[in-house]
Amino acid sequence: MQDVFDIYTIIFLALAVFIFLRLRSVLGQRTGRERPPYDPYSARDSVRPSTNDNVVALPSRGGAETPQKPIETAEPVERWKGIAEAGSAVAVGLDAIAREDPSFDAKHFVDGARSAYEMIVTAYAEGDRRNLKNLLSKDVYDGFDAAIREREAKGETSETRFVSIDKSEIVGAEQRGRTAQITVRFVSQLVSLTRDRSGAVIEGSPDKVTDVTDVWTFARDVSSRDPNWKLVATEAGQ
């Protein structure tokens, strides 16, 4: 009887050892060097491009850096064709602005400056403070507002009508920190006059076209999301 018990015991033990070895070969064993489970979201986040156009990806540190494309430092000779002569102070200033704001388009800027010039002159004549506030810096607006209030106190009204804008050219450009400044010289023809309380013309003429030259400086913070330029200085041109 003891022999039979020993035989069955040996058989069960052998079967248990066999099952254990099979499970170990299928499931494996932990050695402390296993890789963490793959996280697709984590992997995606590590290469997700930034949605902020102002963020520049910096190269990683260490010896195994990914080769970077060479930076192009040469400016195209025809870049500011029709706007500024290559190598001129204006061209150098425009280059500096374009480096800070790659979306800058000089021709588009000049077109916008022409429109702003006409809008501002017309709004000033009409005493339209709302439009002026959107187009002028605070200092310039305060000056325009003071002149309008003085005119209103006297009971005078102003009338301005553009005949043409014959020329609008960039005569200065520079990048000051985060602020871009561009100076434009406008040559225009307009009809301008001032009337007193009774409606009589006291300055100018409704029938006389006058040649006017203005030199205006516009500025914009290139780090701002606001794409609009504002008038920051005015002077009479020659």
pLDDT of residue 39: 31
Q: Which two tokens stand for residue 56?
A: 């520049």
Q: What is the pLDDT of residue 46?
A: 35
- From 112, 116, 75, 70, select the one nearest 93 (Cα to Cα): 75
Q: How confident is the model at residue 78, as a pLDDT?
A: 79
* Token reading at 115: 């429109």
Low-confidence ranges of the chain (pLDDT < 50): 4, 20-21, 23-74
- For residue 80, the 8-state DSSP code is T
3-state DSSP helix/strand/coil % of the chain, to nearest 5: 40, 25, 35
Contact 151, 104 (CB under 8 A): no
| Residue-level pLDDT at 65 | 42
